[in-house]
Amino acid sequence: MNFETELKKGKFLVSECPFCKIIVWPPSDFCNRCLKENSWKECSCEGKILEFSKKENTIFCVAEIEKSLKILGEIISGTPEIGKKIKVVDCGITNNNYFFKMAIIE
């Protein structure tokens, strides 16, 4: 399974070390602790806002997903506050850049 191939289809995978039982992020074929081969699983896509700002009408935030990995993405619905729960509702690759769109879920 290839992270980018799946991301292009809108599927958000994470790499997980079956030995260390940790999510390895950024996604990688090998664990950055034991260097053994990782496995891939679908991400729950749920997390919380750590910080946010705004450029014109685009709200962007650092979100912590599955209590372990952090991404910078766009909040497309809801009013952001630190600690509010979000879900990645769309992701993919455009113009060689990943994108993560999030919605506030509470």
Partner 1 sequence: MPKVAVVAYGHTKFSNEDLKIESVLLRATKNLFDSTPNLEQKDIDSVLVSTNNNSKYLSAILSEMTGIQPKIAHSVESLCNSGTNAIVSAYSYIASGLADVILISGAERYDSPGQILEWDNMRGEFKHPIFWASIFSKAYKREYSISEEDLAIVPVKNHKHAKKNPNAFSQKTISIEDVLNSKKLTEDLRLLDCSRPCTGGASILLTSEEFCKKFCDSPIWITGIGQKTTSASFTKNQGFDKMESTKQAAQMAFQMSNHSSENIDVMEVHDAFSVCEPIALESMGFSESGGGIKMIKESYSSENFKINPRGGLLGTGHPLGATGISQTIEIVQQLQFKAEKRQVETASVGLVHNMSAAATSSTVLVLEN
Alpha helix stretches (DSSP H) within 1-106: 3-8
Residue 36 CB, shortest distance to partner 1, in Å, is: 21
Residue 105 CB, shortest distance to partner 1, in Å, is: 19
Nearer to partner 1, 1 or 62 (CB): 62
Q: How far is CA 27 from the centre of its chain?
A: 10
Nearer to partner 1, 102 or 104 (CB): 102
> Which positions lie near partner 1, rule CB under 8 A?
25-26, 50-55, 60, 62, 69-74, 82, 94, 96-100
CB 48 within 8 A of CB 84: yes
Nearer to partner 1, 88 or 104 (CB): 88
Residue 8 CB, shortest distance to partner 1, in Å, is: 13
Q: Determine if residue 95 is left, alpha or beta; phi over 0 gives left, psi from -120 to 50 gives alpha, anything else beta.
A: left
Alpha helix stretches (DSSP H) within 28-91: none
